[in-house]
């Protein structure tokens, strides 16, 4: 039994009203709500433990360090990484991808070298590489998608050549809901001797990920999208790459010895963690990962798949409904437009009914160009959403459609 009633009680915000209506929160792709255990663990750390980590001999500093490093172990176990040396704390997926583009790019990419992205990438996995392009003159190649919103595999294979140095693709599209077979992406890239970065921002909240099964060289995700706090994320990376990459930023924590002439860097993963880390957020993230693991990601997946199928079926019957993304593996994200109703109008009017959806280009403008639209409305589901809430959304869309 998936105990949705009790699960919802863990999230106080779900009990609030918006404009006199019970909140229906369908903007989980942007960020998720936080369960009590996450907020309480962080409050407790601030009230009872707070001290800077890795630096103090005193009791509190050692306790805070223990919590921070225990959180790293929780992340390692969650990802099934081999070692905590492979787990770097960042501010989120964006920073993780920028770190790879910057440091891998610095070490291994030169003018004329190429990175392969896909047409469904979030801006964070495009612009990071464009910054490297401006600095080093690399080239960006793009895997096209078909009309169902799936990667075109033959085209992907054709993009490899002697200059290909990296493949960087999203695990799940934040617009189309497409679940990419990242194992296949990795196998093809590795056949060409090319490493792969997977953007796991939209996969980690919805189903279990296993670094040994995926085989990617780098994997990025954000705490706030998986019921954890804002301001913390993770970059997983194989030691063979991390060892050979230069640091991202300079400062405290990431050094061994400093003179004005020369600095030696700390061991992994600290080489990539300059400055005071958000050690309270790491505790919050660990509690969030414990929380989803306790419910069970397989059960969360089954619940959200049921919701997605139900929503697709009900929404598909609304006259004038256009749903974007029909991949055979479809995650808990539905992008749509109805007739000629502007996405902003739809979003604003749904909001008045207490329904929170996302509108706009979803930080994926190149994908919007491919779809031939300026923006869409996006409903994205989380572990606490219900079929009844989908009914409220469908009724809301029908009401808005009647107004136009």
* Contact residues for ligand PLP, defined by CB under 6 A: 92-94, 122, 124, 170, 174, 199, 201-202, 222, 363
Contact status, residue 286 vs residue 70, Cβ threshold 8 Å = yes
State both tokens at 117: 């992205």
| Annotated catalytic residue 37 | no
8 φ/ψ angles, rounded to the nearest 5 degrees: -60, -30
Q: How far is the CB of 101 from ligand PLP (least distance, A)?
A: 13
∠ CA 220-201-283, rounded to 5°: 75
Contact status, residue 215 vs residue 185, Cβ threshold 8 Å = no
∠ CA 210-93-83, rounded to 5°: 40
Q: How far is the CB of 206 from ligand PLP (least distance, A)?
A: 12
Q: How far is the CB of 170 from ligand PLP (least distance, A)?
A: 5
| Rounded Cα gap, residues 65 and 348, in angstroms | 45
Relative to beta strand 17-18, strand 21-22 is antiparallel
Q: Which of 18, 159, 363, 401 is catalytic?
A: 363
Nearer to ligand PLP, 178 or 385 (CB): 178
CB atoms within 10 A of CB 208: 17
Helix intervals (H) in 80-216? 93-99, 105-108, 124-136, 153-158, 182-191, 211-214
Nearer to ligand PLP, 150 or 199 (CB): 199
| Distance in Å from the first CA to the final CA of the chain | 42
Q: How far is the CB of 173 from ligand PLP (least distance, A)?
A: 7
Nearer to ligand PLP, 172 or 349 (CB): 172
**Peptide bond before 269: cis, by omega within 30 degrees of 0?**
yes
State both tokens at 58: 């005193």
Nearer to ligand PLP, 234 or 392 (CB): 234
Q: How far is the CB of 227 from ligand PLP (least distance, A)?
A: 13
Nearer to ligand PLP, 71 or 367 (CB): 367
Q: How far is the CB of 403 from ligand PLP (least distance, A)?
A: 30
Nearer to ligand PLP, 94 or 386 (CB): 94
∠ CA 118-122-124, rounded to 5°: 110
Task: Catalogue the active-site residues.
Answer: 363
């Amino acid at each position: 039994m998936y105990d949705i009633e009790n699960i919802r009680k863990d999230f106080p915000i779900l009990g609030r009203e918006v404009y006199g209506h019970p909140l229906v929160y369908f903007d989980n792709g942007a960020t998720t709500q936080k369960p009590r255990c996450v907020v309480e663990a962080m409050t407790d750390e601030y009230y009872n433990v707070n001290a800077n980590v890795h630096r103090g001999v005193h009791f509190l500093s050692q306790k805070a360090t223990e919590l921070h490093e225990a959180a790293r172990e929780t992340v390692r176990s969650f990802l099934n990484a081999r070692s905590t040396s492979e787990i770097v704390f960042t501010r989120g997926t964006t920073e993780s991808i920028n770190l790879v583009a910057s440091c891998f790019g610095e070490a291994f990419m030169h003018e004329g070298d190429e990175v392969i992205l896909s047409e469904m990438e979030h801006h964070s996995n495009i612009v990071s590489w464009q910054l490297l392009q401006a600095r080093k003159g690399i080239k960006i190649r793009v895997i096209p998608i078909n009309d169902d919103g799936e990667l075109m595999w033959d085209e992907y294979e054709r993009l490899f050549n002697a200059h290909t140095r990296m493949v960087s693709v999203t695990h799940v599209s934040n617009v189309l809901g497409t679940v990419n077979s990242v194992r296949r992406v990795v196998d093809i890239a590795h056949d060409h001797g090319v490493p792969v970065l997977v953007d796991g921002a939209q996969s980690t909240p919805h189903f279990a990920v296993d670094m040994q099964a995926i085989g990617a060289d780098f994997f990025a995700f954000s705490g706030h999208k998986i019921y954890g706090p804002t301001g913390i994320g993770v970059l997983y990376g194989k030691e063979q790459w991390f060892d050979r990459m230069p640091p991202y930023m300079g400062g405290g924590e990431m050094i061994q010895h400093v003179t004005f002439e020369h600095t030696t860097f700390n061991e992994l993963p600290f080489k990539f963690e300059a400055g005071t880390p958000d050690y309270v957020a790491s505790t919050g993230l660990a509690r969030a990962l414990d929380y989803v693991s306790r419910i069970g990601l397989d059960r969360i997946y089954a619940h959200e798949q049921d919701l997605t199928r139900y929503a697709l079926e009900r929404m598909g019957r609304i006259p004038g409904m256009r749903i974007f993304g029909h991949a055979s593996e479809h995650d808990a994200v539905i992008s749509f437009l109805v007739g000629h109703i502007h996405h902003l109008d739809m979003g604003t009017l749904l909001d008045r009914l207490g329904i929170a959806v996302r509108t706009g280009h979803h930080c994926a403008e190149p994908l919007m160009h491919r779809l031939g639209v300026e923006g869409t409305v996006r409903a994205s589901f989380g572990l606490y959403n219900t079929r009844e809430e989908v009914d409220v959304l469908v009724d809301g869309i029908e009401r808005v459609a009647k107004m136009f």
